Amino acid sequence: MKSLKTTALALAVSGLPLMAQAELKALDDSAMGGITGQAGVTIELETQVNIGEFRYVDEGTLAVSDIFVGGAGRDDMFSELGFAIPNEATDLIDNIKMNIDVLEDGDAAIDIFPLFGSPIDFAVRTGAWELRGDTDSTLLMDNLSIEGLFTEFKIRVDTETDNLNLRTRFAIDDMDVDVPFLAVGIRDLELTGAGYDDNPNIVSLGAVAEMDVYKAPNAAGVDSLAVDIETFDADMNIGGVLVGGTSIGSMALDDLSIQDTQMRIYGH
């Protein structure tokens, strides 16, 4: 509006009917500020990510190949519920709605949740995880596959404390991975909310995880990346543990709870 010359604006308005002109009122800066961004921004999203190789290089290299992040392409997860959880069985992460708001005190609030009520299905798959040196390499992991659902992901940035708070509720229907350098494999890992094993239901399906991320000094007083796990509550079942390619049985962790855990991450 400010780029328009007054004369041009007057000519444009003069062409309107008189009654319409009577309804036109100029807005001052304070009024404009009062109507800008009040409801925040909403983004509806569907996506898929493929990465040929990710490399972290220090003196040696950690490389992860054939990374896929997308939809699970399934509509039959958590069959013990006794009913199908409705979702589109595609290879896209879809049915996502993001609400982004900057609150009155300056805090940022980002809420990610299903667009249509049904949980959001996802899949994460990778190929080899390798440690590489000048002459040798070690295959750490291979054939990682994770398929599951999540129902919420909340992000808060607190301007008073400079903390980033993350809270999510998710469930893994099936996770498989091989760890070749230890001759170990995991098959059919299921992760759900605490108490789900005793009473499978849609309300307790998701494991709850909450953490704070911020800047804090380490033991030497040097600034570091601080990660505090406030809450992680889940049930975990592993359908098969392989050693040397042979199953040695299954495992279960009932009412797993991790709380008040602090990490400080920094370079050396």
The per-residue pLDDT for range 111-140, each reduced to its tens digit, is 999 988 789 999 999 999 999 999 999 999
Question: In whole angstroms, what is the distance from residue 26 CA to residue 32 CA?
Answer: 10
Question: In whole angstroms, what is the distance from residue 242 CA to residue 249 CA?
Answer: 8
Q: How does the average pLDDT of the chain come out, rounded?
A: 88
Of the pLDDT bands very low, low, confident and very high (cuts 50, 70, 90), residue 243 is very high
Q: Is 245 left (phi over 0), alpha (psi -120 to 50) or beta?
A: left
Question: In whole angstroms, what is the distance from residue 178 CA to residue 109 CA?
Answer: 38
* Type of residue at 199: N
- Can you give the pTM of this predicted structure? 0.82
Is the predicted pLDDT of residue 22 greater than 60, yes or no? no
Is the predicted pLDDT of residue 259 greater than 50, yes or no? yes
When pLDDT is averaged across residues 49-54 and rounded to a whole number, the result is: 98
Q: What is the pLDDT of residue 36?
A: 52
Report pLDDT digits (tens) over 66-114.
Answer: 999 999 999 899 999 988 887 778 899 999 999 999 999 999 999 999 9
Q: What is the pLDDT of residue 5?
A: 45
